[in-house]
Amino acid sequence: MKKKTLATKIGAALMSAVLAVSMAACGNDGASQGDSSQEDTSLDGSQSESGNQDSGESSGDSGENGGDASADASGSEDAGDGEASGDGENQAGGAVVLHEPKDLGGHWNAPEKYLTNEEPWYRGFYTEATNIDLGAIMRGEDEEGYGLLLRDIDAIAEQIAILQEADVPILFRPLHEASGGWFWWGAAGPESYIELWKLVFQRMTEYHKLNNIIWVWNGQDGDWYPGDEYVDIIGEDIYPGKQVYLSQSGKFSQAVEYADSPKPIALTENGCLFDPELAFRDQAPWLWFCTWSGEFVVKNNLPLLSEEYTEEAMVRKVYEDERVITLDELPDWKQY
């Protein structure tokens, strides 16, 4: 049993950064935060990804690139989750002051010209709300569209550059859940998606010279994997249903096989918590977990624990387990 109270542990965890941040385009084409509904049994395109999340980090063999105990901000899964983390006072032009990890999130809306107007503009990251043809863009058949994507990538790169100047690293999770097809970046299949991932990667690292990004890939299928040289961490999003505390070791093992070289595996989104005892028994040491917001954590949007998905006893078991690391237990990375 850990010495600190559960309230202290969860309070610290809730102040942690989201370890996956969504890429948001700016202006009228900018990323939006959608609604907060999700299916009980699985993740589908109807969910939104914005809001506070309750999360932690489980220590294990794959935790070598550890982050803080954190949650995944939904803002966009896959194209972007971008989160900043840093200790102490970091300043860039007097504008950025970070004392602890922070989270930023958003969805990457398709450029405005591709929105169908059949859905509200803020749902412009969903396939059903756009007529964008990523395949045509990546094949060079839509030069204007290619330029608009570069414009959006450059816009977010400018913001990440501010964090780089302040010596703030980020875990960046763009273009998430592509294989599901419910987001525009996955609607044209794996080939064009992989080309887009590489474009984002190369534009940011080679053109903008950004070196403060830890790349979190969350495509959910090995056929969509862009390659080890473009990925630092692999993430899985799992919503197994209500009060299902299994380790999800099958998904963990599947994710391990995506890469040719060892990569840490994170549970970048989850509905109910998993039982850490089962996770270690089944050799599924998730690097971190990121519980979704709303009814997955709180009751009726009040500061009351909802037990709809995870019962209080399991919440206590998870946060009091010696192998689950919360934000207040992390070292001072500036002095580590």
The residues assigned a catalytic role are: 177, 269
User: 3-state DSSP call for residue 20?
Assistant: strand
Pairing mode of beta strands 265-270, 233-238: parallel
d(CA 47, CA 126): 10
Residues paired with residue 104 on neighbouring β-strands, in sequence order: 82
Name the token pair of 132: 């964008």
DSSP secondary structure letters along 86-125:
--S---STT----SS-EEE----PPPGGGB-SSS-GGGTT
d(CA 300, CA 307): 11
Angle at 148 between CA 146 and CA 152, to 5 degrees: 115
User: 3-state DSSP call for residue 251?
Assistant: helix
Name the token pair of 53: 């999340």
**Cβ atoms of residues 80 and 219 within 8 Å:** no
**81 contact partners, CB below 8 Å, separation of at least 6:** 18, 20, 21, 22, 23, 49, 72, 73, 74, 75, 105, 171, 172, 173, 174, 176, 216, 268
**DSSP for residue 203:** I
